Structure 1
Amino acid sequence: MTENWLNQIKELKQAVTHSGKFHADDVFSTALLRYINPDIHVERVNEVPEEFDGLAFDIGRGEFDHHQEEKVYRESKTPYAAFGLLWRVLGAELIGEEEAEKFDHRFVEPLDYNDNFGDDYVIARIISNFNPTWDSNENSTDAFWKAVDWAEMILRAEFEQIFSRIRAKEEVLEAAEKAEDQIMILERSMPWKKHVKDLDLLYVIFPSNRGGYCAQAVPMEDGYQELKMPFLKEWCGKSGEELQELSGIPTLNFVHSSGFLSAAGTLEDALEACKRSKELGTLNEGKQPVLLNVSHGISSEWSKEQIKAAHAYGEIIDFMLPKIEGDISQESVENFIDDTVAKILATKASVVYCDGETYLTYGIVRKLKKKRVTVLGACHNLNHEFVEFVELK
């Protein structure tokens, strides 16, 4: 078997893996095979039978075993284990190349890293805990299948989320083709921001789960709070009869203080709010925002260059947090966080980068997010190498 792996796995009758103590590697490999082919028979053996013509993984030193000297490595230098070797040939066929790469980086690679280097990883530890204890009478193979059931449940949930995102993208792009006046209307609420960043849209309307319709202003880019064209400034923070009288739109009942969201009782009024804001508002021309760099020490020039290269931000202001030493009350910590957030907001920086993971930075991030400020952090791979900047939640 060398190509069209997905179809071959669907038709495969049997596979083998090693017996004895099991790990996340062989468990998730089995779960993946069973997800693709529920009828496949996987047997745990001490060695691969001589005449065996099925698929062997994590045993036998073949294509899907990683115990030989000539290991296969990712670009991140993490060696593939059996689960990763299977995913490498099956993932793109199963969920598409882009999603398969993301899933490998987020889910598969940490498990492979654990299997190769013994790094403590919670999912791997949970699988390991399915093994019978030294004083248990439970059969190891029975325990193995319990672990596989759990792993398959996790994979099914992960894949359904991925397929859901793919379906959302298809519906969003279809709706975008029908958009008029740079306003897109969705028939139901779904993730849309990642799919419209390169489209000529200003507003997106969709049914609200509270009844009526919501309309959102499209951000300058995904994960970034600055908007192409917010709802009218004089409407922001208003609601109910006050807003309806001010706007002249009968069922417009809410506009967020930042201008990113409005709510109306009817589709017609949600559409009117968008059209009115487009007609009377001011288009954001995409000026370079200021980035505030919050850290416990002045960041290196390399770090600043990475930030600029990743997001094309303009001026970067260093905002150094003082160290808090000795005993200090919770109230003092909260006051410090409140004061720091107030100072950050006073700079009017549209994006904040937080360097470091401490209780103080966590508190600052939490409060900035409540103010709808975009907060970034650095993402590193398992070798502690910089990968990308991601929005903190």
Structure 2
Amino acid sequence: MAKSAAKRLKTDTVTIGTHNGHFHADEALAVHMLWTHIPRYAGAQLIRTRDPAVLATCDTVVDVGGEYDAERNRYDHHQRGFTTTFPGRDTKLSSAGLVYKHFGKDIIANRQRAVGEAARDDTTVELLYNKIYQSFVEAVDANDNGISVYDPQGVEAAGLEKKFADGGFTLGAMVSRLNPNWNEPSPADPVEAQAKEDEKFVIASQRIGEEFDRTLDFYVTSWLPARSLVEKAFAERSQYDSQGRIMVLSGQSCPWKDHLYMLEAESPETGKVSYVLYPEKSTPDARWRVQAVPVTKDSFQSRKPLPKEWRGVRDEELDKVSGIPGCIFVHAAGFIGGNKTFEGALELAKKGLDLE
């Protein structure tokens, strides 16, 4: 928990300093990453102040102090001329990105060991390090630095407008709502008032930390183990289609999109996959799905949607229309379909390649 500046000066406990007042997602996440995932900071005191003399006594300072010096554990990004970015990315870092930049690989390796993964492997750690930054931390950096997802001038030129209010469903908005309200009663005693504010910050740090930890665990325990399955399926796809347009995940479904796009980028000469087949569950009687690969991971547009005449049709009617027995359905948008057997799903994919 946060301690007053006076109490800090009387202890040798490891301390993390950040600013008091209105808090944001970046320092809330930065503190969480240190507190929770780096052993040296377990149980560290949190000092929230803008007093330079007090900050100078802290072991580590984030988001305040006007200084970025990793050797001295100073991670502020507000100073004039600061332009540091994550390797391979263009988004300017916030305190969250700075802490992740320097501690992210240790966070990942520590988590891998905690869940029983093999000893640290630099290749997989590097893969996860980049993926988690792009999937989570970068959004916090952009939000704190006022960087929009889309170029504002391009959006204006295109005449695009929001169709509805999104309710501020962002990591930054989530943390911001945990600040004290402007008319919320505050203790008259400054020490008590600061302690009350600090308690809210700790709640915010824990809240965004929960989301970070879920993301971290997903990529460590689910996303990364799926890579070897997708690599195997990608290497074997020519046995289902001479041009390699059909990929089969024979054992069970797993997170495949990211890995597929990366494998295609690494081997552009092998062509692109149009359909991915996988069982609904890992039992011999499982039904099978055939899914059209999206143009991009989050796109609703498919590279090769299932044929128009199949879309929105089910069961026996779909058997007749497709000429394939055992059909279950094809979605009205044509991005996915199902059959009772692998052979049926494979036939849907093969016919789908030849039809519009």
Alignment of 1:129-140 (within 5 A): 129=180, 133-136=184-187, 139-140=195-196
Distance 1:236 1:150, change over 3 A: closer
Structure 1 counterpart SS, 2:328: strand
In the other structure, the counterpart of 1:108 is 141
CA distance in 2, matches of 1:276, 1:80: 49
Give the counterpart of 1:43 among 23, 46, 64: 46
Stretches of structure 2 that go unaligned for 5 or more consecutive residues are 1-12, 109-127, 148-171, 265-270
Percentage of identical aligned residues: 22
- Whether contact under 8 Å (2:276, 2:290) holds in the other structure is yes
* Cα pair distance change 1:162/1:107, threshold 3 Å: farther
Cα RMSD (Å) of the superposition? 4.1
Q: What CA deviation, in whole Å up to 9, does each residue of 1:62-99 have, x standing for no partner?
A: 52243875552257998654333223323466432254
1:157–1:132: structure 2 CA closer, same or farther, 3 Å change rule? farther
Structure with higher helix content: 2
Task: Specify the SS of the correspondent of 1:110.
Answer: helix
Kept in 2, the 8 Å contact 1:61–1:67? The answer is yes
Equivalence for 2:103: 90
TM-score of the superposed pair, with normalisation by structure 2: 0.58
How many equivalent residue pairs?
Answer: 262
Q: 2:92, 2:293 → 1: CA distance?
A: 41
Distance 1:106 1:161, change over 3 A: farther
Corresponding residue of 1:295: none
Once residues 60 and 239 of structure 1 are traced to their aligned partners in structure 2, the CA distance between those partners, rounded to angstroms, is 63
Separation (CA, whole Å) in 1 of partners of 2:310 and 2:77: 64
* Alignment TM-score, normalising by the size of structure 1: 0.53
Q: 2:303 aligns with which of 227, 232, 241?
A: 227
8 Å CA contact 1:80–1:109 kept in 2: the answer is: yes
Q: Give distance in 2, aligned partners of 1:36 and 1:262.
A: 42
Equivalent residue, structure 2, for 1:172: 230
Structure 1: gaps of 5 or more residues: 1-12, 115-120, 285-393
Are residues 259 and 42 of structure 1, via their aligned partners in 2, closer, same or farther at CA, if it must alter by over 3 Å?
Answer: same
Distance 1:66 1:174, change over 3 A: same
Change (3 A) 1:49 1:184: closer
- Listed one character per residue, the Cα deviations across residues 264-298 of structure 1 (whole Å, up to 9, x for unaligned) are 112232123223444xx25x8xxxxxxxxxxxxxx
The offset of 1:110, in angstroms, is 1.1
The match for 2:326 is 251
Q: Conserved in 1, the CA contact under 8 Å of 2:16 and 2:61?
A: yes
Higher relative contact order (CA closer than 8 Å, sequence separation 6+): 2
Q: Which of these residues, 247, 252, 274, is aligned with residue 202 of structure 1?
A: 274
Alignment partner, residue 156 of structure 2: none
Deviation at 1:48, TM superposition (A): 4.4
Amino acid of the structure 2 residue aligned with 1:227? R
Q: 1:258 & 1:58 partners in 2: Cα distance?
A: 46
Query: Larger deviation: 168-177 or 59-68?
Result: 59-68
CA–CA separation in structure 2 for the residues paired with 1:67 and 1:177: 45
Q: Distance in 1 between matches of 2:77 and 2:294?
A: 48
Tell me how far apart the structure 1 counterparts of residues 313 and 56 of structure 2 sit (CA, whole Å): 76
Which residue of 280, 283, 291 maps to 1:216? 291
In the other structure, the counterpart of 1:148 is 205
Deviation, structure 1 residue 217: 3.0
2:267 is aligned to none
Instruction: Work out whether residues 22 and 131 of structure 1, in 8 Å CA contact, stay in contact via their aligned partners in 2.
Output: no
Contact 2:178–2:200, Cα closer than 8 Å, also in 1: no
Match of 1:33 in 2: 34
Cα separation, partners in 2 of 1:262 and 1:200, compared to 1, 3 Å: same
Deviation at 1:31, TM superposition (A): 0.8
